[in-house]
Amino acid sequence: MVFTTSAEAPEKVPEGSNSVLVKNLYLSCDPYMRGRMSKPLHKSYTDAFTPGSVITGYGVCKVVDSGHPNFKAGDLVWGMTGWEEFSLISMPDALIKIKYTDVPLSYYTGILGMPGLTAYAGFHEICSPKKGETVYVSAASGAVGQLVGQFAKLMGCYVVGSAGTKEKVDLLKNKFGFDDAFNYKEEPDLTAALKRCFPNGIDIYFENVGGAMLDAVLLNMRDHGRIAVCGLISQYNLTKQDSVHNLFCLITKRIRMQGFIEPDFKHQYPQFLELVIQYIRDGKLIYVEDVVEGIEKAPSALIGLFSGRNVGKQVVNVAHE
Amino acid sequence: MVFTTSAEAPEKVPEGSNSVLVKNLYLSCDPYMRGRMSKPLHKSYTDAFTPGSVITGYGVCKVVDSGHPNFKAGDLVWGMTGWEEFSLISMPDALIKIKYTDVPLSYYTGILGMPGLTAYAGFHEICSPKKGETVYVSAASGAVGQLVGQFAKLMGCYVVGSAGTKEKVDLLKNKFGFDDAFNYKEEPDLTAALKRCFPNGIDIYFENVGGAMLDAVLLNMRDHGRIAVCGLISQYNLTKQDSVHNLFCLITKRIRMQGFIEPDFKHQYPQFLELVIQYIRDGKLIYVEDVVEGIEKAPSALIGLFSGRNVGKQVVNVAHE
C-alpha cells in the first residue's frame, strides 16, 4: 500500500488484521538496494523491487496503531518499511522494538542497525582478526567502513582506510582513529599506494568496493591473509562488471576470500546491541551520519551513494516524532 | 651442478660433504613449474629458475652414494632433484625415503607424492566436504583432479568433472567413477553446461583452471559454497591474466574461496601415505599416468601440460633401477 501524503494515510489498521501502522521517521539509504533495481543474474538474498510499488528499505518508525500483540501505539521500532510517510506493515514480526533511546534514533539505520551488525560480524566472524595484524578498509568512511576500522582499532590492529575526498580522509585519521588513510582518487597507482601504507603487506582486507582496488590489494596481501567481501560498490552501476586479474595471488599467498551478508548473523544482534551501545556511551565508538531532511530528497540521497556524495552513513529524516 | 650424461657424473660425493648423489629414475612434470619460468609479480612460495642452471623438480631417485647419515647407497627416495641423469643433492634433508615398493615407483611423483597430498589436503582441509554434497572438479583427469574426484566419491559426494578430450571424459566416467563428466571444449556455454550437470547448484568447486570457467562456476554455486583454488592452468601462459567478472556471487551466495599450496600440509604426509597406500592396495583409488621415456622428452612433456596433451599425471622415465 502506498501513501504518498499523510492526508491519505489511515489512522487505524484494518479490523482483524495483525498489521502495524507506522509513521516513518528515518529511512536508510544502503548500497544493497541498487541490486534490487536490476533483474538478478541469479537468485539473490533479496527480492527485486516491483516497478510501480513503493520502495522498501530499513527505517526507524513510530507505531501509530497495531493489530499485533507485540506492538502498541507509541512504540519506536526499526526494520523494513516503505519509502513513504506512513506504512502499513503486514508482516511486523521482523520489526525490532527500540530499547535504548539515549542515542539518536537514526543510529538504528546505521551503527545500531544493519550496517553496524554487518561491520561487527564481518570483521569478527569473517576476518578472523588477531591483535597486531594489519587491516585495510575501502569505502572506509561509509556506513560500514567507519565501524570496521574502529572495531579493528579496538582489537589492537594497525588500520588504514581509503576514501574519495580529502574531507573523508581527514575524518578517517582525525575522528575515527585510523592509523593512516588515503584518497584513492589522487593515487595514480593503487598498488603503490597500498605498498606505501603497508610496507609489510595486508593481513585483512575488508572489501567494500571491488574492481581495480581488489586487484591492487591482492598484490599487497600477506601470506594467509583474509578478505571479507562485504560489498562491491564500484561495480553496482556497471552493465558489465570490471574484471579482476590477480586471483593467482589467492594460491601463492594462501588467501581466504569470503563473502557474507548480515541476515546470516541476525541471531547475534542482541549481544551486538549491548556491546555497541556501551561503546557509544563510553565514547569508544563514534558514528558519522549524513542526514538529509525530507522524503523528497530520498531518491537523490540513494543515488549519491554510488558517486560517494555522502559523508558517513546516508540517512533521510522523513519526520520528527 | 649439471651432469648431462652419466659419463660426466661422479661416482662419489665429495669427501666430507653431507650431500647425496642420486640416479634419477622418474621426473615429475607439474604446472607450478611454469611459474618458476617467469619473473614473479610478487614474492612466491617457490624461487624462479636460474637461466643456465639445471631445472629442478620433484623426482624419484636411487641413492648412488651418500655423505648424509639418513641415506645410503641403494636407498630409493623422492623429493626435489634435477632434470638430469644424476644429481648431487646438497640439501638432502628434504628427501623422503620410499617405504612401500609394492606400487609403481612413479607413483611417488603423483598419487603418493606432491599431487596426491595436494588433492587430499585441498579437498579435506579447504573444501570442508560433507556427505551428499555436489562437487565439481576442473582439469579433472589431471594429476590432482582425478584424485579429488575419487576422494569426493569416497566421502559420498556427487561428483562431476570436466576435461578437454573425449578420451579424458571417458576416463572420468568409466575409470575414476565420477557421476558425470563433460568436455569443456565442446560446450558453447559453460554456464549452461554446469547448470545441466548441477540443476541444484555446486557446493564445492575444486579450481584447477581459472578464467572463464571460474566465472561460469560462480553463477552456478550454491549458498555457502566453497571454492578451493589449487591452480589456474588456463592462465599460466598468458601475459595478461584473463578477467573474472562474477565475484559479486561471493557475497550473494556467501561463498568461501581459498587458495592453498601443498607445502603447508607436509606434516600430514605420513598419515596421508598410510591411508592412500591402503586405498591403492584395496583398489579403492586408481591412478592414471602418462609416462614418456627418456630425459630428452622431458621439455616437451612439461610444455604439453599447458595444452592438455597429457592423459593423467605426466611423468618422465629417465632410467630404470
- Digit-coded pLDDT (tens) for B250-274: 999 999 999 999 999 999 999 999 9
pLDDT score of A8: 63
Q: Are strands A313-317 and A20-28 parallel, antiparallel or unpaired?
A: antiparallel
List the grid coordinates of B173.
Answer: 566416467
Whole-angstrom Cα distance, residue B128 to residue B152?
11
Please give, rounded to a whole number of angstroms, the shortest distance from the CA of B210 to a CA of chain A: 9
The cell for A164 is: 574519495
Residue A11, CA atoms < 13 Å, CB-side half-sphere: 1
- Give A-chain residues touching B205 at CB under 8 angstroms: none
Cell of A110: 546505521
Question: Which residues are bridge partners to A88 per DSSP?
Answer: A21
Report the chain B residue with the minimal C-alpha distance to residue A126: B256
| B29 closest CA partner among B229, B308, B259, B243 | B308
Neighboring chain B residues of A210 at a CB cutoff of 8 Å: 247-248
Cβ neighbour number for residue A70 with a 10 Å cutoff: 13
Q: Which residue among A243, A248, A264 places its CB closest to the CB of B235? A: A248
Q: What is the pLDDT of residue B45?
A: 66
Question: Do B221 and B251 meet the contact criterion of CB atoms below 8 Å apart?
Answer: no
Beta bridge partners of B136: B160, B205
* Residues of chain B with C-beta less than 8 angstroms from the C-beta of A192: none
Rounded Cα distance between B80 and B56, Å, is: 7
**Average pLDDT, stretch B281-298?**
97
Confidence of residue B5 (pLDDT cuts 50, 70, 90): low
Residue B238 sits at the chain A interface (C-beta within 8 Å): no
Closest Cα in chain B, distance from residue A242 (Å):
6
Model confidence at B1, pLDDT cuts 50, 70, 90, reads very low
Cβ(B256)–Cβ(A248) under 8 Å? no
Q: B170 phi and psi, to 5 degrees?
A: -60, -40
In 10 A of CB B13, how many CB atoms? 21
Asked if pLDDT for residue B159 goes beyond 70, the answer is yes
A239-291 pLDDT, tens digit each? 777 788 999 999 999 999 999 999 999 999 999 999 999 999 999 999 999 99
Q: Which of B41, B254, B256 sits opposite A219 (nearest CB)?
A: B41
Q: Using CA atoms, how far apart are residues A175 and A287, in angstroms rounded to an integer?
A: 9
Which residues of chain A fall below pLDDT 70?
1-9, 40-45
Nearest residue on chain B to A218, judged by CA atoms?
Answer: B42
Interchain contact A212–B (C-beta under 8 A) = no
Percent of all residues in chain B with a pLDDT value above 90, rounded to a whole number = 83
How many Å separate Cα B61 from the centre of its chain? 19
User: Contact, B205 vs B127, CB < 8 A?
Assistant: no
ipTM score of complex: 0.91
**Helix (H) or strand (E) segment spanning residue B219:** helix B212-220
Distance of CA B100 to the CA centre of its chain: 20
Q: Rg of the Cα trace of chain B? A: 20
| Residue type at A221 in one-letter notation | M
Instruction: Answer yes or no: do B257 and A250 touch at CB < 8 A.
Output: yes
- Neighbouring CB atoms inside 10 A of B303's CB total 13
pLDDT at B3: 47
Residues B89 and B21: their CA atoms lie apart, in Å, by 6
Tell me: pLDDT of B7 over 90. Answer: no
H helix and E strand count, chain A: 9, 13
In the DSSP assignment, the letter for residue B86 is E
The string of pLDDT tens digits covering residues B34-74 is 888 877 655 566 788 888 899 999 999 999 999 999 999 99
